[in-house]
Amino acid sequence: MSTDLEHARIDFAERLRQAVGLRSAALVRAFGMVPREHFVGPGPWKVLVPPDLLTYRDPPDGNPRHLYDNVLVALDAPRRLNNGEPAALARWLDTLDLAPGERLLHVGCGVGYYTAIGAEAVSRDGSVLGVEIDPELAERARRNLAPYANPPGPLGRADGELGHAERCNPWRGRAPSSDFIAGELASSLHSDRHGVHVRGAPVARRPRASGRLLHGF
């Protein structure tokens, strides 16, 4: 099964590359390596198949291969919280031109799947930190990202420890600097000359002049 899943991931990444026109080889490699089933949990799942983003569908069984398609996976169906569409997230992440050794702050990291994708892209020499505003998802992200936390492992430094942004400022008044900031909390994310905030809580200083802020995806 593991070998079959490894092949499924690699094929999935290649299909994403072709469908989206991904330029980043590191990003393609990341999608081919990170196990989505580790983040969304065991099946059976409920999925949304674009362009229909209203009606959940039930895959035929609990085989993780069904996760390696351009589908959104329900994390909490009653609240319509999903692990996002791979093609859309891949397209947006590709615009950041992530490279080994860089730092990425992922605001709205959900259960951490795309945080781990970013960590793979920046390699063990870089760092990725995740912030999630929903306490239940933040706790899941902590557990999911534990294998990738400090010290750096094969996926760089991905860390769900930042957790629930409303609860506290996890940097004790000194928000970190990042090369890139990717924000998925469009209605809650605010940026100004001082930095980036989620519902008033500081989560990062502004990226350096050569950095990028990807806001509201």
- Higher pLDDT, residue 206 or 34: 34
| pTM of the predicted protein model | 0.81
Burial 136-156 (b: 16+ CB within 10 A, else e): ebbebbbebbeebbeebeebb
> What average pLDDT is seen over the chain?
78
CATH 3.40.50.150 spans which residues of the chain?
A: 87-215
Residue 57 has pLDDT above 90, yes or no: yes
User: 64 vs 12, 44, 95, 189, CA distance in Å?
Assistant: 12, 9, 28, 33
Structure tokens at 172: 């004790």
- pLDDT one-digit tens code per residue, 97-116: 888 888 888 888 889 999 99
Residue 168: what pLDDT?
28
CA distance 10 to 137: 27
Decide: 112 and 159 in contact? Cβ < 8 Å.
no
> Mean of the pLDDT values across residues 15-23?
96
Give the sign of the dihedral formed by CA 61, CA 41, CA 24, CA 132: positive
Domain 87-215 maps to which CATH number in 3.40.50.410, 3.40.190.290, 1.10.10.10, 3.40.50.150?
3.40.50.150
Q: What is the mean pLDDT of residues 145-172?
A: 47
Number of H helices, E strands in the chain: 6, 12
